Each structure stands twice: as structure tokens, then as C-alpha cells.
Structure 1
Amino acid sequence: MNPNVIFLNSFLDVSEETFEKLASISTFRKLEKGYQIDKPGEVPDKIYMLISGMVRAYLSSEKGKEYNKNFFMPFSFVGSLTALIKKKPSKLTYETLTECKVYELNFEEITRLCAEDIHISNLYNKVLERVFIKYEERQLEFISMDATERYLRLRKKISGIDDLIPQYHIASYLSITPVQLSRIRKKIDKN
């Protein structure tokens, strides 16, 4: 079975007809490492279904320091959802950390299809529910776990993350310094 259909079915059973409607408004793209999908100050109009590679969402301070908000792995939807819904400039940058393969979808086309097709509307609602659940889980990690626990959980979620991306990206995501992360790694390796 098509892995894209399997992914969509993880939200809701998707018929062939529904899949074909979504496929008709999507474009397959290969994105190079370092490509910025969404940029701060720009109003996005696309959302991406990530099928290979890794993407990060981050916020830049006025001094240029980057704070990683999220990492995206296949299969997931990637894009500045708040900016898309509000039709306002993104506050975050979405950048590929590796070469990525994506399906690019025009957000207005998706919302148009939602108004016309209850199955696509239901799928959209399920995707939003999953986004909210992941957001809440991330918030709970910060209030209930220390840095070591957050790091171990991240390693469990993203197998081989230490080999995929630089240490400073992982440290930023955990809200610690690279030095703190190095100490945590050494402590884990000793145990």
C-alpha cells in the first residue's frame, strides 16, 4: 500500500477518492539541506507533508540566537500552522536539516476542499487534534521532566538523533547549552 495513504490513514480512514483529491492539489518536491520552507515576517500559503528527511522549526532572537521549537520527521505535516490559519506573518523559521522529500499543498486549496468534502474536513480536524496533542505533550515535558529525561525521551522519539543533527540543535531544543548536553551524554554513557 502507498506509504502516503498509510500515513493519512493513521489519522482517519481515507478513501481512494479522498486521497486522489488531496494528490491533485499537491506537488512532490525535493528540498536541499538548509532550505527555508517558512521565514519570519512572511505570510506562508503552503503546508508540507514530509516523507523523508528532517526539518526544524526555530525562533531567532534579536541578537541572532536560535531556539529550536520542534523537529519533524517523516511522516508529518510541516509548516507555520498559526500563520497559515491567521493569514499573518510567521514568527518561526522552518528549515530542512537534511535533504527532504515533501508533498507541497496550498493551504487555501485544503480549506476549500474541507468546505466541499466532509471526509477531507474530518481528516483536517484529526490532523489539528494530533498537532495539539503533540504541542501539549511538549509543554508537559518542560514542566515535569529535567533535561536528562527530556533528552532520553527525544532519543527514544528520534532514533539516532545524535548522528543526524549537530549537538547545538539538540541542546537548543532541550533548552540547555551544548556543554550541559555534553555532560548529560557523558553521564548516560557511564551508566
Structure 2
Amino acid sequence: MKKQPLLDYINKHIDLTVEEKAFLTSKVKYRKYLKGQYIVQQGDVCKYECFVISGCTKTFFVDEQGQEHIVMFAIEDWWASDMGSYITQTPADFNVQCIENTEFIMFSYDDIEDLYREIPKLERFFRLIIERAFVASQKRLVRNFSLSAKDRYLYFKNQYPKIEQRIPQYMIASYLGITKEFLSKIKGQLLLE
């Protein structure tokens, strides 16, 4: 199992003993998904919190008109799931779909609870990760309400250059809350500046 990327990531935040690392790796699953496969779909209970080893995912919901709204992307060393569904073990509001062939280390709800009991500092680690995700989500809301579409695009381009190169423009447009045509217009204007 390719567990080293996860251990390296955790090691940036907390120190684990050899025994704790062994227990941790005994509780995780490794899985490969193909481009287009779903980790979770709206209405299903999210069974896993997933650490991305390689690949890329999008988290989105589909409204009543069938329109897709992307709320997040995840690449290497990021986490992917419907966190609300995972934490509450209730039906998911979001879909998480692979937009590249993707490899994950996955934590089931029951296994994460075992890890919290046996290695209390992991509970702190996951609290920090969830806090950061919450803050990022709130800041994104503020940007969406306060910045122009052009400025939202420039922020995305500067903040996530590795993502922009890997995903189709229509997905970036969905994430920004604009049409792909409007994104093309913005990019055209930027080339003239």
C-alpha cells in the first residue's frame, strides 16, 4: 500500500510513534478509482474520508434544473469527501467524482473513531484539517460575494495553478459560478491587458 504520502502529510502536523503509524496504517484502505467514477453520490451516505495520493476530484451538487455546481477540487495531499455526510452518517448533499484516474487512502467512519480512541493526537490532527477547510470555505463565500468574476478567476489562477492546468475550463467556470463563455471572455480580456 502506498501509505508514505499520508504519513508524510500527517508528520507535517503531528509526530507519531512507530507503533502509532503501524496502527494507523492497519486501519486505512488503499483504492484506485478511474476517471469518471464516484466516491460518493448525492443521497448516499459518505462512507469514507479520502486522502488523495494521486489524481484529481471534483465535489459538486446538481440542482433541480440539472445544473452542476462545483464547490471544490482535490489534488495530491488534499482530502475529498462529503464531510457533512461523513461526520453525521446521513445522506450526502454532494457528489465526489474523479476527473482523473485517482488513488486514495481511505478512512471509514468506524475506523476513524477507533483511531481517535487509540491515538488521541489524531483527533487533534483531523480537527485542524477540518478547521482549515471550514475557514477556506468561509473565505471562498466572502470572495464569491465581494469579488468580480474576473477577480475570482485571478484568485483561483494564482492560488491553484496546479489545478487550473489539469481541469477543463467549463469546470473552472462552474467553480467560479459563471458560464464557460463568460470565463472565455474574461481570459480574452486578460490577454489584452
TM-score w.r.t. the length of structure 1 is: 0.92
1:88-143 deviation per Cα after TM superposition (whole angstroms, max 9, x unaligned): 00011000111111112212210222123212221121121122122122112112
Whichever residue aligns with residue 31 of structure 1, its letter is: Y
Distance in 2, Cα, partners of 1:98 & 1:49: 15
For 1:138, give the aligned amino acid. Answer: R
Q: Is the contact made by 2:85 and 2:91 (CA closer than 8 Å) also made in structure 1?
A: yes
Tell me if 1:151 matches 2:165.
Answer: no
- 1:66 pairs with 68, 71, 91, which one? 68
Report the Cα distance in structure 2 between the residues aligned to 1:157 and 1:32, rounded to whole angstroms.
27
1:144 and 1:103 map into 2 onto residues whose CA distance is 36
Deviates more, 1:134-143 or 1:173-182: 134-143
Cross-structure match for 2:47: 45
Seen in structure 2, the aligned counterparts of structure 1 residues 127 and 161 have a Cα distance that, compared at 3 Å, is closer
> Which moved further from structure 2: 120-129 or 31-40?
120-129
Structure 2 unaligned residues grouped into runs of 5+: none
- 96-105 or 14-23: bigger deviation: 14-23
**What residue is the counterpart of 2:138 in the other structure?**
136
Aligned identity (percent) is 26
Q: Which amino acid in the other structure matches residue 93 of structure 1? A: N
- Per the alignment, in what secondary structure is the counterpart of residue 98 of structure 1? coil
- Residue of structure 1 equivalent to 2:20: 18
Moved more, 82-91 or 127-136: 127-136
Question: Residues 1-150 of structure 1 correspond to what in structure 2 (within 5 A)?
Answer: 2-150=4-152
Partners of 1:130 and 1:66 in 2: how far apart?
25
- Greater displacement, 98-107 / 19-28: 19-28
Q: Identify if the C-alpha distance between structure 1 residues 15 and 183 changes in structure 2 by more than 3 Å, giving closer, same or farther.
A: farther
TM-score using structure 2 length: 0.91
- 1:172 pairs with 171, 174, 178, which one? 174
Alpha-carbon shift at residue 63 of structure 1 (Å): 2.1
Determine the C-alpha separation between the residues in 1 that align with 2:79 and 2:13.
12
Q: What is the CA–CA distance in structure 2 between the aligned matches of 1:7 and 1:120, rounded to whole Å?
A: 12
- Write the distance in 1 (CA, Å) between the matches of 2:20 and 2:128: 15
Kindly provide the amino acid, as one letter, of the partner of residue 179 in structure 2.
T
Could you list the runs of 5+ residues in structure 1 that have no partner in the other structure?
none
**Aligned positions, number:** 190
Question: Partner of 1:67: helix, strand, or coil?
Answer: strand
- Equivalent pair of 1:40/1:93 in contact (CA under 8 Å): yes
Secondary structure in structure 1 of the residue aligned to 2:42? coil
Note the C-alpha offset of 1:151. 0.9
TM-superposition CA deviations, 1:1-41 (whole Å, max 9, x none): x4322211333334443332221111221211011001011
What does the per-residue CA deviation read over 1:163-185, in whole Å, with 9 as the maximum and x for residues that have no partner? 42221111110001111100110
Please state whether the residue corresponding to 1:164 is helix, strand or coil. Answer: coil
Counterpart CA distance in 1 for 2:171 and 2:133 is 22
Tell me if structure 2 keeps the 8 A contact 1:45–1:108.
no
Question: Superposition RMSD on alpha carbons, in Å?
Answer: 1.6
